[in-house]
Amino acid sequence: MNGNADRERNQKKLKRIAASFGIGSNFIQNIKSETLRDRLFRFRKSKLSIIGLAMFLFFVVFAILSPFIVPYPKEVGAYVNFSQALRPMSLTHLFGTDEFGRDIFSRAFVGSRITIFVGLIIPIIGAAIGVPLGLVAGYVGGKVEAVIMRVTDVFLSIPPLIIAILVIGAMGHSMTSIIFGLSIDWWSWYVRMVHAETLSVKQQNYIEASRMLGTGRARIIFSHILPNSVFPVIVKITLDMGYAILNVASLGFLGLGIYPPTPELGAMVAEGRLYLPADWGVSFFPALIILLIILSINFIGDGMRDVLDVEVT
């Protein structure tokens, strides 16, 4: 009987210790919600972040609705009208026309759908693969850590564009092959980052208190370590979107994107360079849209980095 009473007293003592480190504490939850409100307030005070968010939302909404609102939706695909070829900017054609007489404004914004979608999905896929691997490697350690990190080092040594070119060459030109080709290497950066965060967090006292309470390994990883590593992941996903969009546009520029006549911004830039410098608008406007999308994402990412107070390389 006395043994049971002593065990109960020890359990209560451990729970009080754990609560003091933020485990099962409503007070800490209130502090977190207040901190979140403060961070959102700081984000709103950052003018560049708000401008970037407004620009990015504009491009996303316009890209989604573009097939229904662009002035010449029939000219987006296989359309030829040589009598209108290489027309300069005008009220009828805001960005002018290309070598086939197609409206560049309509094709650029419809084509931005592919660039934005692939650019958004690749960092998310990379994080979905890399974050769990980084958590397991950092917390479990030993041979598991060694295997995961050595494989990660191999993928980190290869530029994602090189792997994407090889994959597209083997699988053919399609959105699936572009996503697969870039995602196959993207996860490695998240493994390295989350691995370092996990090694730091697992040394904290509240993790040890949680172990003393008999909390399982999986619960410690996903309930305690992951929430404390999520801010750097969010910032990196945000910044990586611009990098992924640049890679997608680069593949299109090299002729390894979606097959024509489907519009894609990188491919449109490559097609227009044949008519420089006389008809500069054919390349300039698709390139400008790529620049503005990436710039808006970088503004958002810098704002998120300041608000969440993390350093991401």
> For residue range 153-193, what is the model confidence (pLDDT) as tens digits?
999 998 888 999 999 989 888 889 999 999 988 999 999 99
- May I ask the CATH architecture of the domain 46-308? Orthogonal Bundle (1.10)
* Alpha-carbon separation of residue 25 from 13, 36, 138, 146, 264 (angstroms): 15, 17, 26, 36, 51
More confident residue, 195 or 12: 195
Give the Cα separation of 61 and 70 in Å (integer). 13
Pairwise CA distance, residues 125 & 119, whole Å: 11
Q: What does pTM read for this prediction? A: 0.82
- Most confidently modeled of 21-25, 84-88, 306-310? 84-88
Which SS3 state, helix, strand or coil, does residue 167 take? helix
Tell me what the mean pLDDT of segment 62-83 comes to: 90
Residues near 281 by Cβ (< 8 Å), separated by ≥ 6? Answer: 88, 89, 95, 96, 104, 272
Whether residue 133 contacts residue 192, with contact meaning beta carbons closer than 8 Å, is answered with: no
Reported as a single tens digit per residue, the pLDDT across 119-136 is 889 999 999 999 999 999
For residue 208, what pLDDT is reported?
74
Three-state SS for 280?
A: coil
In the chain, where the domains are located: 1-35, 46-308
- What sign does the dihedral 52-40-310-121 (CA atoms) show? negative
Considering the chain, what is the average pLDDT of its residues?
84
